[in-house]
Amino acid sequence: MANCVHCNKNGIDWFSKLWGDSSAPAQCHKCNEFSHIPVSVFTKIRLYNFIVMVSLLFCSYYFVTLIPVGAYIIYHIGIYTYVVRTTDMVGISKVEASENKKKSYLFLIASAVIAILLYISIDLIK
């Protein structure tokens, strides 16, 4: 269990802490308030993961072995466990969370529209 920023009690389970984000925050079992791991933390992890993944894939290809792939899976589990255990969460209200959810849907729709437009434009060039 993780500490809640609202009531300071052990009210958040590790699983919700790991999977929660600013649009779907983890809920505290003691006070029912919401919180999540800061977005910047996950941005950093994704950047590191990308660098590690590319270098391990290169090693895997170069030495013709799957050991780096196994190493990546272990690294991945390790870094997430470490971050979930050590990072402090930030509080968020239910209203803010649903606003973030709307924004993430808008972002998804915008990405889909851009992808379709690109697909159409490629077709027009041919």
> Residue numbers of the site for Zn ion (CB under 5 A)?
4, 6-7, 11, 28, 30-31
Task: Return the CA Rg of the chain.
Answer: 19
Shortest distance, position 18 Cβ to Zn ion, whole Å: 17
Phi, then psi, of 66 in degrees rounded to 5: -95, 0
- Which lies closer to Zn ion via its Cβ, residue 2 or residue 56? 2
For Zn ion, give the closer residue by CB, 6 or 101: 6
The residue (of 13 and 53) whose beta carbon lies closer to Zn ion is 13
* Residue 22 CB burial class (10 angstroms; 0-12, 13-18, ≥19): buried
CB atoms near residue 119 (< 10 Å): 9
What gap in Å lies between CA 44 and CA 79, rounded to an integer? 11
Comparison of 35 and 68: residue with beta carbon closer to Zn ion:
35
Minimum Å gap between C-beta 84 and Zn ion is 17
Q: CA-CA distance, 44 to 120, in Å (whole number)? A: 34
